[in-house]
């Protein structure tokens, strides 16, 4: 049952990300809902599940995007795993902590994406990429995590919280 | 010792998996003109109506919010008039470019009339889930006659070109994507250059612009006749700033697209003759 709920959430987030989220662009970027979801799962359910759901969500995202299969899978695996490690050390019921963890793993995942694109031969100027993409997405995901923390906690904590 | 051996095994497994993932990443890097992988094609074709519905709902919601936050100033009439102004500006630019082109060509006695080819209207049904790439999905594909490299425009100007196609949908590479390059010319001075996509919010850069002629903020940039893919005279963007650089023959100019690529809902695909 839990798996189905999480799969549904991943699918729904992906659908929103490819359609309506473009209307919520701030400074040219939109929040990465899938990354936030993976960070939440990792933070609440541990590094193993965080990593696993990171791969699932990322792979689905890559397959829907139709190319670079593994790009999102790898970066979201990293994000989910790191959020899971943070969940072991930090207090999980605080929205601020959860948001800061989400922001930090977003930053790491986006930097990893930059490196993977370099590996693929796509060179982007680091300063511009940091200023106009990586940092805005990090900030946006951090704020969005605060907003999404309460619905996540209230609606799903009983079903999805790690025992 | 067994604990250490277990760690080594774990490390080796992780290394192997990472190598496999990187190899897969390289193998599946999308190449221009190739067909979309079957899974994506199936998802795109199946999800197109849902995407279109969600987009329409989001557009209406965004319009409602804009109306509320602007105290009623941002309404349907204003939006309609704004769109009309953009359309007419594009038309004026296109006609001026055509007139200038006519003069040049007639002077050379090498006149070649360019007929507008067949085209079809398409609806945007989805966008790339990543912030890193600027692509969108339209609800027209192979069965409608869309082929890779077909030019995609909106009433105000250039949107991009078809990158990959599936049976009923196509992926459009936006002019703001870092992989995009468009041969262009500054309308007022006829200075040529290459417009490349950037990650900066809604900006593009035009490289290899010679320093001979002045380029100022607000000047219009159109596709040039040197571009192998795009027909000449389509508005691409407006100059927002000029970077002179130290020494050298060239400068870089930064452009804002004339089309709001984040909001564009309907586009025109210029089919190849």
Q: Would residue A163 count as lying in a domain?
A: no
The pair of three-digit structure tokens given for residue B203, joined into one six-digit string: 């900006």
Give per-residue pLDDT as tens, A58-98.
988 888 877 788 899 999 999 999 999 998 888 888 889 99
> B223-255, pLDDT tens digit by residue?
987 777 888 888 899 999 888 876 677 888 999
Contacts of B247 (CB under 8 A, 6+ apart): none
Q: What does residue A92 show for φ and ψ, rounded to 5 degrees? A: -80, -20
The residues facing B243 across adjacent strands are B252
Band (pLDDT 50/70/90 cuts) for residue B110 is very low
Mutate to test the interface with A, among B39, B62, B63, B130 (most CBs of A within 10 A): B130
- Calculate how close chain A gets to B129, using CA atoms only, in Å: 5
Q: A43 or A22: which carries more pLDDT confidence? A: A43
pLDDT at B159: 93
Share the mean pLDDT of chain B: 80
Does some domain include residue B232? yes
Mean pLDDT score across all residues of chain A = 87
A122-126, B61-65, B106-110, range with the lowest pLDDT: B106-110
Give the rounded percent of residues in chain B with a pLDDT score beyond 70. Answer: 79
- Asked if B24 lies within 8 A of A64 by C-beta distance, the reply is no
- Chains A, B: CB contacts within 8 A come to 121
Record the tokens describing residue A74, joined without a space. 């790898």
Q: Does B45 fall in a domain? A: no
Phi, psi of B36 (to 5 degrees): -70, 145
- Would you call B97 an interface residue with chain A, using a CB distance cutoff of 8 Å? no
CB atoms closer than 10 angstroms to residue B107: 9
| Any domain includes B51 | no
CATH number, position B215: 2.40.10.350
**Got the DSSP string for B7-35?**
HHHHHHHHHHHHHHHHHHHHHT---TTPB
- Element (DSSP H or E) covering residue B119: strand B119-127
A102 within a domain of the structure (yes/no): yes
Statement: residue A136 has pLDDT above 90: yes
Distance CA A2, CA A161 (A): 10
- Kindly provide the ipTM of the predicted complex, given to two decimals: 0.82
Task: Decide if B38 touches A, using CB distance below 8 A.
Answer: no
Question: Which residue(s) pair with B101 in the sheet?
Answer: none
pLDDT in tens, B122-174: 888 888 888 888 888 898 988 999 998 899 998 888 999 998 888 888 989 99
Structural domain harbouring B240: 181-257
* Cα–Cα distance list, A115 to A75, B72, B240 (Å): 10, 46, 30
The residue among A113 and A158 whose pLDDT is bigger is A113
Select from A66, A71, A135 the residue whose CB has the most chain B CBs within 10 Å, as the one to mutate to test that interface: A66
Instruction: Say whether residue B57 is in contact with chain A using an 8 A CB cutoff.
Output: yes
Q: Which chain A positions have a beta carbon within 8 Å of B18's beta carbon? A: 74
* Residue B86 within a domain: yes
Same domain for B74 and B163: yes
> CA A103 → CA A35, A145, B123, distances in Å?
10, 8, 35
Angle at A24 between CA A23 and CA A28, to 5 degrees: 95
| Better pLDDT: B243 or A36 | A36
Question: Distance (Å, rounded) from C-alpha B269 to C-alpha B55?
Answer: 19
**Which among A32, A66, A119 has CB closest to B37?**
A66
Q: Which residues pair with B52 in a beta bridge?
A: none
Give the model's pLDDT for residue B113: 44
What is the predicted pLDDT for the residue at B158?
92
Dihedral, CA of residue A24, residue B46, residue B52 and residue B144, to nearest 10: 130
Dig out the tokens for B227 from the structure.
């571009």
Residues B32-60: pLDDT tens digits? 666 666 666 777 677 667 666 766 676 77
* CATH number of B81's domain: 2.40.10.340
B77 CB near a chain A CB, below 8 Å? no
3-state secondary structure of B186: strand
User: Cβ separation of B43 and A18 shorter than 8 Å?
Assistant: no
Report residue B32 as tokens.
């221009």
CATH number at residue A44: 1.10.1760.20
State whether B159 and B243 are in the same domain.
no
Averaged over A140-162, what is the pLDDT? 80
pLDDT of B111 reads 33
Number of domains in chain A: 1
């Amino acid at each position: 049952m839990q798996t189905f709920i999480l799969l549904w959430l991943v699918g729904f987030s992906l659908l929103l990300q490819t359609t309506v989220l473009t209307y919520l662009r701030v400074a040219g970027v939109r929040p990465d809902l899938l990354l936030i979801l993976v960070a939440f799962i990792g933070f609440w359910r541990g590094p193993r599940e965080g990593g696993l759901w990171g791969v699932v969500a990322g792979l689905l995202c890559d397959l829907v995007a139709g190319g670079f299969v593994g790009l999102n899978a790898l970066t979201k695996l990293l994000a989910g795993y790191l959020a899971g490690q943070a969940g072991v050390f930090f207090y999980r019921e605080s929205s601020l902590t959860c948001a800061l963890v989400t922001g930090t793993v977003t930053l790491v995942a986006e930097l990893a994406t930059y490196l993977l694109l370099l590996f693929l031969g796509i060179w982007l100027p680091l300063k511009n990429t940091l200023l106009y993409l990586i940092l805005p997405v990090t900030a946006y995901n951090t704020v969005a995590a605060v907003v999404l923390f309460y619905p996540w906690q209230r609606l799903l904590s009983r079903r999805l919280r790690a025992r | 010792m067994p604990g250490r051996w277990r760690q080594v095994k774990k490390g080796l497994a992780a290394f192997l998996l990472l190598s496999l993932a990187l190899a897969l990443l390289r193998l599946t890097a999308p190449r221009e003109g190739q067909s979309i992988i079957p899974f994506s094609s199936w998802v795109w074709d199946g999800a197109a109506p849902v995407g279109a519905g969600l987009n329409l709902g989001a557009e209406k919601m965004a319009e409602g919010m804009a109306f509320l936050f602007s105290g009623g100033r941002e309404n349907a009439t204003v939006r309609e008039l704004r769109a009309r102004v953009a359309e007419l500006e594009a038309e004026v630019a296109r006609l001026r470019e055509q007139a200038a082109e006519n003069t040049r060509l007639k002077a050379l006695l090498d006149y070649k009339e360019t007929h507008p080819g067949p085209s079809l209207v398409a609806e945007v049904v989805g966008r790339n889930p990543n912030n890193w790439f600027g692509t969108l999905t339209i609800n027209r594909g192979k069965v409608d006659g869309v082929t890779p490299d077909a030019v995609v425009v909106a009433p105000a100007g250039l949107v991009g070109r078809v990158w990959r196609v599936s049976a009923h949908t196509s992926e459009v590479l936006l002019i703001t994507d870092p992989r995009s390059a468009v041969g262009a010319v500054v309308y007022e001075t006829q200075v040529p250059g290459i417009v490349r996509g950037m990650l900066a919010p809604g900006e593009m850069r035009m490289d290899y612009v010679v320093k001979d002629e002045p380029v100022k903020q607000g000047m219009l940039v159109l596709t040039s006749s040197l571009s192998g893919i795009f027909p000449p005279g389509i508005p691409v963007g407006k100059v927002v700033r000029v970077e002179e650089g130290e020494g050298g023959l060239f400068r870089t100019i930064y452009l804002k697209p004339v089309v709001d690529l984040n909001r564009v809902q309907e586009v025109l695909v210029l089919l190849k003759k």
